[in-house]
Amino acid sequence: MKLRQTLLAGAIAFAPVTAFAADLTIGFSQIGSESGWRAAETTVTKQEAKDRGITLKFADAQQKQENQIKAIRSFVAQGVDAILLAPVVATGWDEVLEEAQDADIPVVLLDRTVDAPDDLYLTAVTSDLVHEGSVAGQWLVDEMDGADCRIVELQGTTGSSPAIDRKTGFEQAIAGHDNLQIVRSQTGDFTRSKGKVVMESFLKAEGGENICALYAHNDDMAVGAIQAIKDAGLNPGDDIKIVAIDAVPDAHLAIANGDMNATIELTPNMAGPALDALEAFLADGTTPPKWIQTESKLFTAADDNQAIYEQKKDLGY
Amino acid sequence: MIGPKHSTFKRILPQLLILAAALAINLVVFPDFFDIDFRNGRLFGNLIDVLNRAAPVAILCVGMTLVIATRGIDLSVGAVMAIAGATSAAVVVEGHGWVTALLAGLGAGALCGLWNGILVAVLKIQPIVATLVLMVAGRGVAQLITEGKILTFSNEGLIHLGAGVVAGVPTPILIWMALGALVIFVVRRTALGMLIEAIGINERSSRLAGINSRVLLVCVYLVSGLCAALAGVIVAADIKGADANNAGLWLELDAILAVVIGGNSLLGGRFSILASLIGALIIQSVNSVILLSGMPPEFNLVIKALLILAILVIQSPRISYLMYMLRASGPQPQPDTAPLPKTQKEEAQ
Amino acid sequence: MTHDTGPVLHAKGISKFFPGTIALDEVDLRLEPGEVHALLGENGAGKSTLIKCLTGAYQRDNGTIHLDGQEVSPQSTADSQRMGIGTVYQEVNLLPNLTVAENLYLGRQPMRWGLMARRRMNAMARESLAGYGLDIDPAEPLTAYSVAIQQVVAIARAVEMSGKVLILDEPTASLDRDEVQLLFSVIRQLRDRGLAVVFITHFLDQVFEISDRATILRNGRVVGTRVLADVSQKDVVTLMLGRQLESQVHDRKPAKAGETLIEVENLGKRGMLDPLSLALREGEVVGLAGLLGSGRTETANLIFGAVPADQGRILLRGKEIPVSTPREAVKHRFALCPEDRKTEGIVGDLSVRDNIILARQASQGWMRPIPRAEVNEIAERYVKALDIRLASLDMPIRLLSGGNQQKALLARWLATNPDFLILDEPTRGIDVGAHAEIIALIEQLRSDGMALLVASSELEELVAYSTRVIVLRDRKQVRELSGAEITPENIVHAIAEHGTPAEEGAR
Ligand SMILES: Nc1ncnc2c1ncn2[C@@H]1O[C@H](COP(=O)(O)OP(=O)(O)OP(=O)(O)O)[C@@H](O)[C@H]1O
Ligand SMILES: [Mg+2]
């Protein structure tokens, strides 16, 4: 089995590489569609490929690594020109990445990295989670401008890397600003419903009037919290400032409605930079850096959130 | 002879005491715990939150108690919540009214319950395996309906079910209390309760006594599916959106726990829905301790596990027997005749 | 009996209280080496409770136990086994999912290189059971066999465990004469080896046949210990009941020609029962006789739909009716009081009241609950009529004594007012007093126009109430006796016509 694949891969490796963007075929192994953001990433990736005239072979792994490994093997067997991989877990990729390398097919990691020697993949396109947190923190620092502010924090799923990094980044940004103080921090599991429940308890435990700002590790929790704040008879966005991360359409809508103040974008467009790098590499061998960091863009009431909402809402969020 | 009222009280006394203790811990970590005021047209306070947030588990445990009484278990309720929430959301998003949406959600739950019931009662698959199928596959079905995103809606009627108030009281509180009262009434004022218990204790004897155990089993899973659907619609309404990935996640375990804390045996037989409902309140009170204590979230699971463990240990037959011995003087019965929750005489009305 | 050494086991002042019941009140029991000691008493007198207190299954509330002169206090049944007391409890307590051999040797399996020596164990089991006339495959799970066979397995296990005392609580309730004789020869061997054997039963003939002395309990108290050679059965009965048992006059009027109620035509199921036909008229009692495993219980189960038949049909008043489930049978006013009361009869954790009302409620449907007052009236009526001894109607039925459970099950079915009542071993575990009453009851029901089909291994009993007797052998109908033909001798003869009974007992 393995032998046959190796032979097959070897045979393909001898085929001349004709790197014209117009007839590129790229395989994309996506994790699944477990969140709106993921769905948007799929939509945007397909769109990016179409715009560039690239044939995209899409494989949905339904949260299973074995499906992703199968998909990559089948891409290799089909002799695609490159592979995009959004890995579901960090470990266990060495063997299949080696198979791709033996077949001279470059692999670009999207959104997450893997625990494998970095010569097994071309580059990884991810956001910087710590940076996202610090953009949020910096926004609050600027917004408060020295005024005292008691902050409550809705953390992501305890122990997950986005929760840890987004917390770290935020804390780094507010460090040294003694007027800003996180008074309560509890996990909302990245869900709207837990966001609402936990915010309810914050409002009671601290007293709504004593909370000046909410930092949520994602927009979903912020959207849930907004409802809890309204139920408490307070005015979200005004009485309590709200900053969160992801910039999903509902967050733009909330900002447009004045219920929320700021969100930092985790762009679903990982494919854009990835395809840029691939095209350059396949055309003339330009080696991209091992890590391409996507932009963490801040959106506030200053932007036309209504328009952005309309634009984003059909991406699949 | 002991009257029914008195014995109901005796049956739920341990649960009431534990609930009181759990509320007392809340009071310790947060002195204003019992304050309730009226704000923004609704009752506002921690106690209200406990009652309100207990709604999903309370509703689930009504059906779960019946299923467990037949010696079964329903692992699929969390997934069924997601399916029902997604179905209702999809229906209102299509522009239909909230009644249609609610009925569609309940219908989806009924179908799921029927499926489970047929697997268990007709195909004789072990309940834990039979309902595992839907537990695993159900969330996928829900995701298909919502296409992986949070299906947001703004239908006021539907939202009212989860986030609204009636005379200042959050609607979910009224719904779970009404449902609990209704099911307890039906089960105890008809012969349903006794027949369900008979099946759970000795299916073979019951069948030979002419009980239609197959139909009853299907019904019980059907009720569980309906309860799950109702909980799912409420949870979706609460956040104005169906979140197929997270709605009801792990709630089947909380529901089972509520039934167990309610002193019902997982081996089936005598049951008390009222005690299970108090069990649900106990679980929510424990959650409230965690939220109000302000401890870092890394401790959440540890605190919850310790508190639940303490509750189950206090309820264990050995300890109950010891307590009985401490209180009793004179002739002392043996563990097999001690007043264990399961074998107590009368049932909650 | 040897009196030069002291007693093997001497229990003094044993008391046991349950809520609402004084089950044992200062009971003394003295077992000499090499004696078979019968323990007698009415249903609920406290026999089983005494055994359980002696063997540590229950903790006694008072009293001392001396074993070979040393005070002991077994804390569990395993404890008493280690001390050399082997016990068969009234409700056979084996593990149904294990094989026969595993049940026999559980906890003391023959080992080989640290593993269970399965083949050797099976061989040992086969040999051991052969001593009781059983030729069965010990590698089969226990559930594959009838209660009677399970009981023999339990006895064999207890016998091998007993170094000093063997206690048998109603071991012969579901055994045939021949098995009983085999058991008695085993008991005699043990007795001759100097063991003390406690024997509980309601069959007085057996008591007088095997026992040397008897201790009689009434309402939890010892009313006397007698050397049986010195007393008559009548004396013993009077001691047990506290009154004289009026001798029953059997006025067996020939069956009044009632309407034909039930016709069973060629009903059978492959591997279970050869096609069988019988007809019952109102006011008739048909007895089913046969050895263990001859198909008595199978016949009852097929007619009641407890096991669906794969051929034949049933007609009710001339019209064919489907009876593939008990539910359908109940709908047509059939009733079946099963042989195995523990697994097929009682619903252990439900109250006595609910158990009595269960079948009637099931046939009414859940929507129409029987009003509480009526439930109480029915339950109290039958408790009184059948003299069921209980502390309260609210107590779980599993806490009743064995014989009283049996009566409660009878009450359950009488409460449905059946037209056709099937009784499978109705007097199993029932005391002498109640035994006569149940026979009188059957007679009464018959003259009220009910049709009854009664399977029993007690020939005298069958002869007493049957208007006809169907004899089964080897899962086949072999004879039908009626009128004056019905005598114990004729039945035994019909049963034994071909083959040897010992073989028939096995399955
Ligand atoms: N665990 C228990 N809890 C309460 N009452 C009990 C319990 N066990 C037995 N009893 C009661 O104690 C009395 C004696 O019961 P026991 O089983 O010893 O009778 P028995 O003499 O063995 O009768 P039988 O001949 O019917 O088997 C009965 O009234 C029974 O209801
Ligand atoms: Mg007994």
Q: Nearest CA of chain A to the CA of B1: how many Å?
A: 46
End-to-end CA distance of chain B: 17
Handedness of CA C432, C438, C441, C447 (dihedral sign): negative
Domain extents in chain B: 51-273
The per-residue pLDDT for B322 is 72
Determine the Cα–Cα distance for residues A289 and A291; give it in Å rounded to an integer. 5
Cβ contact C294:C455 at 8 Å:
no
Question: Could you report the per-residue pLDDT of B12-45, keeping only the tens digit for each?
Answer: 999 999 999 999 999 999 999 999 999 889 999 9
Tell whether the model's pLDDT for residue C258 goes beyond 50: yes
Name the residue at shortest CA distance from atom 29 of ligand 1.
Answer: C44
Which stretches of chain A are DSSP H helices? Answer: 2-13, 36-51, 65-78, 94-102, 129-144, 161-174, 192-202, 219-231, 249-256, 271-284, 305-312
Q: Which residues of C299-309 are buried (b: 16+ CB within 10 A; e: fewer)?
A: bbbbbbbbbeb
Q: How much is the pLDDT for C256? A: 63
3-state secondary structure of B106: helix
Strongest mean pLDDT among B118-122, C385-389, C490-494: B118-122
The pLDDT tens digits for C25-62 are 999 999 999 999 999 999 999 999 999 999 999 999 99
Structural domains of chain A in order of their starting residue, each with its CATH number:
2-125+268-286 (3.40.50.2300), 129-266+303-308 (3.40.50.2300)
Stretch (H or E) spanning B284: helix B273-293
CB C202 within 8 A of CB C431: yes
**CA–CA dist C500, C496 (Å, integer):** 7
C238: Cα separation from own chain's centroid: 23
Q: Residue C278 carries which side chain, given as an amino acid letter?
A: L
From residue A20, give the alpha-carbon distance in Å to each of A284, B279, C136.
11, 66, 81
For A14, A103, C417, the CA distances from A95, given in Å and listed in that order, are 21, 13, 76
Using DSSP's 3-state secondary structure scheme, residue A232 falls into coil
For residue C418, what are the contacts with CB-CB under 8 A and spacing of at least 6?
C333, C334, C335, C450
A33 to B147: CB separation less than 8 angstroms, yes or no: yes
Residue C2 binned pLDDT confidence (cut-offs 50, 70, 90): very low
* DSSP per position, A66-116: HHHHHHHHHHHHHT-SEEEE--SSSSS-HHHHHHHHHTT--EEEESS--SS
A7-11, C112-116, C134-138, C488-492: which has the minimum mean pLDDT? A7-11
Cβ distance of B148 and A34 shorter than 8 Å: yes
Contact yes or no for C358 and B206 at CB 8 A: yes
Asked if C touches A (at least 3 Cβ pairs < 8 angstroms), the answer reads no
CB A105 within 8 A of CB A75: yes
Per residue in B319-340, pLDDT tens? 777 766 665 543 334 444 333 3
Query: What's the confidence (pLDDT) of residue B335?
Result: 40
CA atoms within 13 A of residue B264's CA, in its CB half-sphere: 38
CA trace torsion C258, C260, C262, C265 (10° rounding): 140
Q: What is the pLDDT of residues B296-309, one digit of tens each?
A: 999 999 999 998 89
Task: State the number of CA atoms in the 13 A half-sphere of C285 facing the CB.
Answer: 28
Q: What's the pLDDT score for residue A16? A: 41
Nearest to B161 by CA among B240, B58, B222, B244: B240
Query: Alpha-carbon Rg of chain A, whole angstroms?
Result: 22
CA distance A299 to A113: 26
Q: In the structure, what pLDDT confidence band is assigned to residue C149 with cuts at 50, 70 and 90?
A: confident
The residue behind tokens 């969100």 is A263
Instruction: Read off the tokens for C434.
Output: 């109640």
Q: What is the mean pLDDT of chain C?
A: 89
Say how far residue B189 (Cα) sits from the centre of its chain: 21
Beta carbon of C48 within 6 Å of any ligand 1 atom: yes
Q: Is the CB of C427 under 6 A from ligand 1?
A: no
Q: Do B152 and A232 touch (CB under 8 A)?
A: no
Cα–Cα distance between C455 and C472 in angstroms, integer? 10
State in Å: Cα C399 to ligand 1 middle.
7
Q: Assess contact for B237 and B134: CB atoms under 8 A.
A: no
Model confidence at C250, pLDDT cuts 50, 70, 90, reads low
Residue from B50, B150, B151, B159 whose CB has the most chain A CBs within 10 Å, to mutate: B150
Check CB contact under 8 Å for A205 and B294. yes
Q: Are the C-beta atoms of B100 and B91 separated by less than 8 Å? A: yes
* C344-350 mean pLDDT: 94
Ligand 1 atom showing the smallest separation from residue C45 Cα: 21
d(CA B19, CA B281): 7
What whole-number percentage of chain B has pLDDT above 90?
81
- For residue C117, what are its two tokens? 């020596």
Give the distance, in angstroms, between the CA of residue B304 and the centroid of all CA atoms in the same chain.
18
Is residue B2 over pLDDT 80?
Answer: no
A-B contacts (CB, under 8 Å): 95
Distance CA(B299)–CA(B304), nearest Å, equals 8
| Chain segment B163-198, per-residue pLDDT in tens | 999 999 999 999 999 999 999 999 999 999 999 999
Distances (CA, A) of B294 to A271, B297, C163: 41, 8, 65
Write down the pLDDT at residue C291. Answer: 85
- ipTM of the complex, rounded to two decimals: 0.88
Strand partners, B243: B150
Q: How far is the CA of C90 from the centre of ligand 2 (A)?
A: 6
Q: Residue B341: which pLDDT band, with cuts at 50, 70 and 90?
A: very low
- B126-151: pLDDT as tens digits: 999 999 999 999 999 998 998 878 89
CA angle B36, B41, B45 (to 5 degrees): 20
Which are the contacts of B132, defined by CB distance < 8 A and separation ≥ 6? Answer: B75, B76
Length of chain C: 507
| Token reading at C76 | 């569990």
- Percentage of chain C surpassing pLDDT 70? 95
Interface residue B349 vs chain C (CB under 8 A): no
Q: What is the pLDDT of residues A227-242, one digit of tens each?
A: 999 999 999 999 999 9
The string of pLDDT tens digits covering residues A150-163 is: 999 999 999 888 99
Q: What is the mean pLDDT of residues B48-55?
A: 97
Please identify which residue in the block is written with the tokens 């030069």.
C4
Residues in chain B: 349
State whether residue B342 sits within 8 Å of chain C by CB. Answer: yes
Contact C420, C262 (CB under 8 A): yes
Q: Return the pLDDT at B311.
A: 87
Cα dihedral sign, C105-C110-C115-C116: negative
Per-residue model confidence as pLDDT tens digits over B199-229: 999 999 999 999 999 999 999 999 999 999 9
Phi, psi dihedral angles at A55 (to 5 degrees):
-85, 120
- C479 in Cβ contact with C470 (< 8 Å): yes
- Reading the block at residue C123, the tokens are 């061989």
b/e map B217-255, b = 16+ CB within 10 Å: bbbbbbbbbbbbbbbbbbbbbbbbbbbbbbbbbebbebb
Residues of chain A contacting B238 with CB distance shorter than 8 Å? 193, 196, 227
Averaged confidence pLDDT in chain B: 89
Burial (CB count within 10 angstroms: exposed 0-12, middle 13-18, buried 19+), residue B134: buried
The average confidence (pLDDT) of chain A is 91
Rounded Cα distance, A73 and A83, in Å = 11
Q: Which residue has the tokens 């016709």?
A: C263
Distance C203 CA to ligand 2 centre (A): 13
For each of the domains in chain C, give its residue range(s) and CATH number, in order of start: 9-97+141-241 (3.40.50.300), 250-333+418-507 (3.40.50.300), 346-417 (no CATH)
pLDDT tens per residue across span C309-332 = 999 999 999 999 999 999 999 999
Spatial CB neighbours of C135, under 8 Å, sequence gap ≥ 6: C126, C129, C503, C506
Asked if residue B332 lies in contact with residue B325, where contact means CB atoms within 8 angstroms, the answer is yes
Among C14, C18, C221, residue to substitute to test ligand 1 (most atoms within 8 Å of Cβ): C18
In this prediction, residue A270 has a pLDDT band, given cuts at 50, 70 and 90, of: very high
- Whether residue C366 and residue B192 make contact (CB cut-off 8 A), yes or no, is yes
Stated as kind and residue range, the H or E segment containing B37 is: strand B36-39
How many whole angstroms separate alpha carbon B260 and alpha carbon B257?
A: 5
